[in-house]
Chains A and B, each alone.
Chain A
Amino acid sequence: MVAVRLWGSLADLAGAPEVEVEAATLGGLLTALERDYPALKPQLDRGISVSIDGRIYNDGWSTPIAEDSEVVLLNRLTGG
């Protein structure tokens, strides 16, 4: 299981600031979150960024996640 920290609005929807899901990759994480926490689906559909061990990822489904990885969901980043 991987512990996933949620930002405030998502924490309200999921009912907890941190949830645990079964995932070994970023793609698996997104699938598991949508399955186990359907209230998060609208935001997942709009797009999110994911910090894995301090580095930020947007898309790569195959990005590995270890059991002890620090995983934090973030609003999808945009820039200028």
Chain B
Amino acid sequence: MPKDEYQSRAFNIVGTRPIRPDGIDKVTGKARYGADMTAPGMLWGAILRSPHAHARIKSIDTSEAEAMKGVKAVITRADFPKLDLDPGMADILDNSMAGEKALYDGHAVAAVAASSKSLAYAALDAIKVEYEVLPHVVDVDLAMKPDAPVIHAARQDETVPEGLSENVTSRSQYGHGDPEEGFKKADLVIERHFTTAATHQGYIEPNACLAQMGADGQGDLFVCTQGHYMVRDTCAEILGLEAGKLRVTASEIGGGFGGKTHIWMEPVALMLSMKSGKPVKLVLTRDEVFRATGPTSSSSTDIKIGMTKDGKITAATGTFRLQSGAYPGATAFLSAMCGFAPYDLEHVRTEGLEVMTNRPKAAAYRAPGSPMAAYAVESVIDELCQKLDLDPLETRLKNAAREGTKSAYGPTYPAIGLEATLKAAQEHPHWTAPLGENQGRGVACGFWFNFGGNTSVNLMVNPDGTVSLSEGNPDIGGSRASMSMMAAEELGIPLDQVRCVISDTGSLGLNDVTDGSRVTFAVGLATIKAARHAIEIMKTRAAMKWGIEPEAVDWVDGAAVPAGPNAGKFPPMSIKEIAAIAANTGGPIAGHCEANAEGAGVSFATHMVDTEVDPETGAVKVLRYTVFQDAGKAIHPDYVEGQFQGGAAQGIGWALNEEYIHDEDGRLLNAGFLDYRIPVASDLPMIEPVILEIPNPGHPYGVRGVGETSIVPPLAAIANSVSRGAGVRLTSLPMSPPKIRAAVKAG
């Protein structure tokens, strides 16, 4: 078996719950987030944004703003270099600063840098933009119609069938078997249409950066992002810079959830710095965050599922339409892949369609594409169970995918943990706890892929024997803790002997974005390999000291020891003792790993929730919530639990409250936390996390990603509990009080 495959072992540090190394700075206010950095001579940047959902920009007059005292730079799209960019890169530039058209309410059209924040905003007021307002469309179904206003012409790829609006840019189809034949074998077939609203990732830290470009083409950028290498490479490409000359440092990051895997305003800050010759700090307001960054796609879905009266699914089909905002690139293909992934189906067919609208460019949001698909699929399965009088957990178990199942998206599964989550749910006291009037219990399953990807890690053994660990993925949920733990485990040294830092782009090889729940898996794998590399070097150094062959040295409990009686009799040589003779035995000791970690394991969860509906107001109270998820191996269980709980809370918000609301002119009406209401502490109960550990065969410790799967089941779990408690089945999210009240009144 290759050494990077899973091997069962006892752990000393992995699986314990130490205090995270970055914790002190975060509870004392010392940690530096995106907006917390300053530079000598720094200017303040601000961005002027379109008030129109769709408009041709006829002219921009910046002369008055430029003449203001203290204003050091004013830029429009005309200031950016005209390069031959591929379409995806051109879109990123156009989204950062509009070209011929403003494509959504909030699209950037100009920017300023001034000596104070108040002056920067005053200068924005002095910029005159003349617009020709164009017809707009924000609804995904309307945007697909042949007569819909077209956001961009000629962006369809070869997969799109004839007869649809040019706004439809891509189509994906998955599945196998013959669903029409399968439906004939069903005792009951249910077909439903579902919609979900666009929701924002809602990270509490607005996007922020500090840019400093020199006249020599060298620059520095301090930015809150999920991927500073991505920021470097993208900004360099669209600004015509060389990547090696731009050093990007990731700040502490105040939440991202996928929303900070993209470029929003970093090129604007760099351009303002270039033009002014000064460092420029650019911090978005909450209004700008809502209007111009991220939300996830709204969706429109058709699901049809057939079931026998004893609960076997005979066939299933789904069409998932996701709006991508003003540019191509939604994740409807992931909806089409994930929706039926939990089930073993003989006949299944799915279709994903991606549709442009006059909304901000859609961004990844935690398992992008999967929650809305699971909402629709799991709702129909639950309705089938209700109508056929079947137990919802038993029925899911009966149809559950397991090792050897051909998945709905094609491949055959290796060892997976869905059954384990369902069985754990059945055995949990929550499942049999009594319910009161207007209360219901819902369950739902969810699936997510998890990724690996490009990863670089350095592990340096310092002269005093302590260890410095460098990784290149922003720490969004405790990864410095988990990496330090894996390094200490592998080296056999106490945890406090390891300090992990997040390196800038100039100090460590490429690292892919912190996304796809990849970090604990891929960076963990690279950390373990870097530690093993350092151990090999240290064994060589001990062998040199002892005058024996390196092959005759083993590594046990943080020390080199002779391998067996024939190697000679020497006392163990600790990492400190080896570090002390490093200069005499060949120089500094450092292990490293640069790899494209592939083969991440897929992840499943089952959620169970009790809700109570107030029939008078339509308000839903979440009473009890339990998450059952396979983590492979929980390195730091506290932070695995935190991912389960946080994902569930975001899903609850998506199910009950959160939505982008536009007026008839396509303007966003609720661009603030008062009117876009994310769950607050008094909205939620405790969320019980149940961690299951079915080892991922592709990781030495068995780790699977855990960050995203937890947002997949809650939408349906809540809908199913409301249906069972209040007797109404809603097919449109969010299930806000007016909608539920109307449904209850209609009976």
Contact = CB atoms under 8 A, between A and B. Distances in A.
- Do A and B touch each other in the complex, judged by CB within 8 A? yes
Nearest to A59: B596
A16 interface: no
A14 B331 CA distance: 23
Contact of B410 (A7, A13, A39, A63): A7
B399 interface: no
A8 B173 contact: yes
A8 B351 contact: yes
A9 B161 CA distance: 10
B516 interface: yes
B515 A80 contact: yes
Contacts of B698: 55
Interface in A28-78: 39, 42-43, 46, 51, 53-60, 63, 70, 72, 74-75, 77-78
Interface stretch (B105-113, B362-370, B637-645, B731-739): B362-370
A28 B411 CA distance: 20
A80 B173 contact: no
B599 interface: yes
A59 B411 contact: no
Contacts of A59: 454, 596, 598
B360 interface: no
A9 B173 contact: yes
Contacts of B451: 56, 58, 77, 79
A74 B409 contact: yes
A55 B171 contact: no
Contact of A63 (B363, B450, B598): B598
B158 interface: yes
Contact of B414 (A55, A57, A74, A77): A55
Interface string A1-32: 00001011101110000000000000000000
A78 B598 contact: no
Contacts of B454: 59
B565 to A, nearest CB: 40
A13 B173 CA distance: 12
Interface in B443-466: 448-454
B598 A60 contact: yes
B261 interface: yes
A13 B414 CA distance: 29
A29 to B, nearest CB: 14
B412 A79 contact: no
A46 to B, nearest CB: 7
B179 interface: no
A4 to B, nearest CB: 11
Contact of B708 (A12, A60, A80): A80
Interface string B232-263: 00000000000000000000000001110100
B422 interface: no
A51 B410 contact: yes
Interface in B394-451: 409-414, 448-451
A62 B449 CA distance: 22
Chain A CB count within 10 A is highest, among B409, B410, B448, for: B410
A59 B595 CA distance: 11
B172 interface: yes
B442 to A, nearest CB: 24
Given A57-B598, A79-B368, A79-B451, A70 B412 contact: yes
B157 interface: yes
B546 interface: no
Contacts of A74: 337, 409-411
A54 B515 contact: no
Given A70-B411, A79-B368, A58 B174 contact: no
A7 B334 contact: no
B194 to A, nearest CB: 21
Interface string B689-713: 0000000001000000000100000
B518 interface: yes
A80 B599 contact: no
A75 B414 contact: no
Chain B CB count within 10 A is highest, among A5, A11, A80, for: A80
Contacts of A60: 596, 598
A79 B518 contact: yes
B411 A78 contact: no
Contacts of B93: none
Contacts of A79: 258, 261, 364, 367-368, 448-451, 515-518, 708
B159 interface: yes
Given A79-B367, A80-B368, A80-B708, A54 B449 contact: no
Contacts of A78: 331, 334, 364, 368, 515-516
B258 A56 contact: no
Given A42-B158, A79-B708, A54 B414 contact: yes
Contact of B599 (A12, A42, A56): A56
Contact of B598 (A11, A13, A53, A58): A58
B383 to A, nearest CB: 27
Nearest to A42: B158
Nearest to A40: B158
A59 to B, nearest CB: 5
Contact of B516 (A5, A13, A77): A77
B83 to A, nearest CB: 19
B172 A8 contact: yes
Contacts of B414: 53-55
Contacts of B159: 9, 12-13, 43
B449 A77 contact: yes
Nearest to A51: B411
Contacts of B409: 7, 72, 74
Contacts of A7: 172-174, 409-410
Contacts of B364: 78-80
Contacts of B173: 7-9, 11
B596 A72 contact: no
A56 B410 contact: no
Contacts of A42: 157-158
B528 interface: no
Contacts of A72: 409-411
B334 A57 contact: no
B334 A80 contact: no
B333 A75 contact: yes
Given A9-B173, A42-B157, A78-B515, 16 more contacts: A8-B172, A13-B159, A39-B158, A43-B159, A51-B411, A57-B598, A57-B599, A74-B411, A75-B333, A77-B334, A77-B449, A78-B516, A79-B515, A79-B708, A80-B367, A80-B368
6 contacts: A8-B174, A43-B158, A59-B454, A77-B449, A80-B261, A80-B515
Interface of B: 157-159, 171-175, 201, 257-259, 261, 331, 333-334, 337, 349, 351, 363-368, 409-414, 448-454, 515-518, 596, 598-600, 698, 708
4 nearest A-B pairs in the assembled complex, by CB-CB distance:
A80-B258, A8-B173, A79-B516, A80-B364
